[in-house]
Homo-oligomer: A and B are copies of this chain.
Amino acid sequence: MTYQEAIEQIYRSTKKLKEKGKPAAYIPELSQIDPSKFGVHICPLKEPSFGIGDYQTRFSIQSIAKVFSLSLAYKLKGEKIWERVGVEPSGTKFNSLVQLESDNGIPRNPFINAGALVIADILVSGLKNPKAELLEFVKSMSPSDNISYSPVVEASEKSVGYRNVALCNFLKSLGNIENQPEEVLDFYFTLCSLETDCQTLSSLFLPLAYDGIAPHSNEKIIPNSYSKRINAIMQTCGFYDESGEFAFRVGLPGKSGVGGGIAAVHPDKYSIAVWSPGLNTKGNSYKGMKFLEEFTTLTELSIF
């Protein structure tokens, strides 16, 4: 069975599921998305790419963008970034302030909000024009340039982002933010507003399945060892408080966003992006999780 055949079969059965979760309600802009949207796109290394459903409709990738900011900060600063953020699963909600207090301001990993804010601070310190340079870096990973910031989503997030303001100021009080919180938050909210479609998103993750190389240009985006380590962090920390569940059921490194997107990679085999806006109770795409679980079961290909 080819990837395409497996995807077609599972897409049909998953599409029919009555239960489909609920779109994120806390950001006004996201709550208005049509919950019946559902798209999948795969970029295999040795087979043709393939997409189905709404795979060319743009959506807000939200926290998936944290993989890009981490990659760029890692590339810029090397292993020194791990002095300011850990690589351990958090065991608590993605936006928890509790652990920070006991961990003296070192966020558990770069994918919880606190960790992503520290990574944002590193980029604000290290780049002249953080927003433009991050976007340029992202675009270098893929032949497509169908990705951009959404001022509307950014404004929507800022209007209700009190908890992130709290997190960033808390980190500042604990000594783990160098810049003014306003500046870091501005970059962070912009980062999380990135929009693209499944087709582009899966291509953006392909370097992580290919030892850090972007196949379309043969350019080394990040070193091989960085690529492996980012995959390891995605495996243990990529799905908020459901990372273990995702490893257990799907068995691939990946990252989800509250916009309903999930990007995952099977090293040396493929990258894949799924989008369905309805979320389960842990904040991950309901149908996206189901689809990927069926996919690795049917193809008998998880990394385990």
Scoring A166, A224, A251, A300 by chain B CB atoms within 10 A of each residue's CB, the highest score goes to A166
- Is there contact, CB below 8 Å, between B101 and A225? no
Stretch at the interface among A11-19, A139-147, A233-241: A233-241
Compute how far the CA of A181 lies from the CA of B163 in the bound complex, rounded to whole angstroms. 12
Chain B hits for A225, CB < 8 A = 297
Given known pairs A91-B92, A98-B98, the reply for A86 and B170 (CB within 8 Å) is: no
- Is there contact, CB below 8 Å, between A248 and B267? no
Chain B hits for A86, CB < 8 A = 244
Compute how far the CA of A228 lies from the CA of B224 in the bound complex, rounded to whole angstroms. 25
Given known pairs A165-B169, A253-B304, A304-B235, the reply for A88 and B243 (CB within 8 Å) is: yes
- Is there contact, CB below 8 Å, between B247 and A232? yes
Compute how far the CA of A253 lies from the CA of B165 in the bound complex, rounded to whole angstroms. 36
Partner of A304, one of B88, B173, B232: B232
Residues in A79-101 with C-beta less than 8 Å from chain B: 86-92, 96-99, 101
Chain B hits for A231, CB < 8 A = 304
Chain B hits for A242, CB < 8 A = 88
Min Cβ gap A296→B in Å is 9
Compute how far the CA of A98 lies from the CA of B225 in the bound complex, rounded to whole angstroms. 36
Chain B hits for A235, CB < 8 A = 235-236, 247, 304
- Is there contact, CB below 8 Å, between A241 and B88? yes
Chain B hits for A181, CB < 8 A = 162, 165
Residues in A217-260 with C-beta less than 8 Å from chain B: 224-225, 227-229, 231-233, 235-237, 241-245, 247-249, 251, 253
Min Cβ gap A24→B in Å is 15
A residues in contact (CB < 8 Å) with B: 86-92, 96-99, 101-102, 108-109, 162-163, 165-170, 172-173, 181, 224-225, 227-229, 231-233, 235-237, 241-245, 247-249, 251, 253, 267, 297, 300, 302-304
* Closest A-B pairs by Cβ, 7 of them: A91-B91, A89-B89, A231-B304, A88-B244, A166-B170, A162-B173, A166-B169
Further contacts, 19 of them, CB under 8 A, given A88-B242, A228-B304, A233-B247: A87-B244, A88-B243, A88-B244, A91-B91, A91-B92, A91-B99, A96-B101, A162-B169, A163-B173, A166-B170, A166-B173, A169-B169, A229-B248, A232-B304, A233-B248, A235-B247, A236-B244, A237-B244, A303-B303
Name 30 A/B residue pairs within 8 A (Cβ), A-sorted.
A87-B247, A88-B89, A88-B245, A89-B236, A89-B243, A91-B91, A91-B92, A91-B108, A97-B166, A98-B98, A109-B244, A162-B170, A162-B172, A166-B166, A166-B168, A166-B173, A227-B304, A228-B302, A229-B249, A231-B304, A232-B251, A232-B302, A232-B304, A233-B247, A235-B247, A236-B248, A237-B244, A267-B303, A267-B304, A303-B304
